[in-house]
């Protein structure tokens, strides 16, 4: 019997996480397509990850995980050291607990239903998909495998054996805005987003409210490049912001963010990035990164599966309060970061994590 589908309440759509399309050819870890590049023998936590980098892996969890088969279907390559690497890293933690794992990289949305059916027919217990494309077809296919629990990031449709998780992009934007506001000398800061869609828009709203949290008089401008790959376009947007007086920039444009950092390096302004490694393109510009550690949500979801509470919990949002946000090293190439700035950043993080700060997404 087919299962009833349930539409997730509209307000949760505000928490949809970025789904950057990295279709560079299908690579799978089991069945179909070519073999993926060999993963690191001992994968490390994503750079900048905080205390949650090593989740609680108790002996009880180990015992419960033994014999489980868990799969991760990812929209891009695990070599990105970002969105997909976080998903892969979470999977390796489950493997350390004793689970048998499989994964697909660079999954084309047209193939998602096939993967869902393959894992279901092979008796997998838990299948996670970090891509919400084709979600209604995926949910329909999952109904044929009631003994398999499926998790879809950002899914607006759920069923008896399909649940959704969401990541709060706005929390990352808020903390980047806080830092930018504390660093600016001109009273003008800028956010350069990629595609103008909900995840990036939410990040921008968080950024503006983070700036206002520190000083409402600071001008927080937001621009979009229209894609995630054109670093030249991003650089030009950044140069325009700098020409207008912005002296701290926050990019959120995936690979195109490189152009923002290059512009800052050339013009002598500062950057707060949303991931590690961008200092390569701007060693005199990048002050710190504000990271979104999505592996925390995947691992918690797996633990909730072990506890049998996933469907009772319903769709779940992971934000700063759940360990989603962490900081990279204070690089501070120009020596402007004071102890007071560090303390105020931590105060803002605490306020966001404990619910004292609530970001308005309307």
**Per-residue pLDDT reduced to its tens digit, 237-253:** 999 999 999 999 999 98
- Cα 327 from Cα 320, distance rounded (Å): 11
Mean of pLDDT values over 220-248: 96
- Cα 253 from Cα 194, distance rounded (Å): 4
Q: What pLDDT is stored for residue 12 in this prediction?
A: 42
pLDDT at 179 over 80: yes
How many helices and strands in the chain, by DSSP H and E?
Answer: 11, 15
- The structural domains of the chain, ordered by start, are 6-167+294-322 (3.40.50.2300), 169-292+325-353 (3.40.50.2300)
Label the pairing between strands 286-292 and 270-273: parallel
pLDDT, mean over the chain: 86
* SS3 assignment, position 167: strand
Q: What pLDDT is stored for residue 156 in this prediction?
A: 82
Q: What pLDDT is stored for residue 5 in this prediction?
A: 38
Label the pairing between strands 126-129 and 149-153: parallel
Q: Which of 39-48, 185-194, 229-238, 307-316 has the lowest mean pLDDT?
A: 39-48
* SS3 assignment, position 104: strand
For residue 338, the number of C-alpha atoms closer than 13 Å in the C-beta half-sphere is 5
- Cα 147 from Cα 241, distance rounded (Å): 53
Q: Which residues, in sequence order, are bridge partners of residue 252?
A: 193
pLDDT category of residue 277 using cuts at 50, 70 and 90: confident
- Cα 166 from Cα 296, distance rounded (Å): 12
**Per-residue pLDDT reduced to its tens digit, 294-318:** 999 999 999 999 999 998 888 999 9
pLDDT category of residue 214 using cuts at 50, 70 and 90: very high
């Amino acid at each position: 019997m087919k299962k009833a589908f349930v539409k997730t309440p509209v307000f949760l759509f505000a928490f949809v996480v970025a789904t950057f399309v990295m279709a560079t050819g299908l690579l799978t870890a089991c069945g179909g397509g070519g073999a993926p590049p060999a993963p690191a023998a001992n994968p490390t936590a994503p750079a900048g990850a905080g205390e949650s980098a090593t989740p609680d892996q108790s002996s009880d969890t180990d015992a419960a995980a033994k014999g489980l088969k868990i799969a991760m279907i990812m929209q891009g390559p695990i070599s990105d050291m970002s969105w997909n690497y976080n998903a892969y890293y979470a999977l390796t933690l489950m493997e350390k607990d004793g689970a048998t794992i499989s994964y697909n990289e660079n999954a084309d949305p047209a193939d998602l239903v096939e993967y869902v059916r393959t894992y279901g027919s092979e008796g997998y217990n838990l299948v996670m998909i970090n891509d919400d494309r084709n979600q209604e077809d995926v949910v329909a296919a999952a109904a044929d495998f009631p003994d398999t629990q499926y998790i879809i990031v950002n899914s607006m449709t759920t069923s008896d054996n399909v649940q959704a998780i969401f990541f709060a992009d706005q929390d990352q934007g808020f903390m980047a805005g806080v830092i930018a506001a504390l660093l600016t000398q001109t009273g003008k800061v800028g956010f350069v987003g990629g595609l103008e869609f909900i995840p990036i828009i939410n990040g921008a709203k968080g950024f503006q409210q983070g700036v206002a949290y520190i000083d409402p008089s600071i001008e927080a401008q937001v621009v979009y490049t229209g894609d995630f790959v054109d670093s030249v376009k991003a650089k030009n947007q950044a140069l325009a912001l700098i020409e207008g007086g912005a002296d701290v920039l926050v990019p959120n444009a995936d690979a195109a963010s490189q152009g923002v950092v290059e512009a800052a390096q050339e013009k002598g302004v500062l950057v707060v990035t949303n991931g590690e490694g961008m200092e390569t393109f701007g060693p005199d510009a990048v002050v710190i990164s504000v990271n979104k550690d999505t592996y925390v949500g995947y691992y918690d979801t797996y633990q909730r599966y072990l506890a049998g509470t996933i469907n009772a919990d319903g769709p779940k949002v992971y934000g700063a309060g759940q360990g989603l946000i962490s900081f990279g090293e204070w690089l501070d190439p120009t020596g402007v970061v004071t102890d007071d700035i560090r303390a105020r950043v931590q105060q803002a993080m605490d306020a966001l994590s404990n619910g004292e700060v609530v970001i308005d997404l309307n």
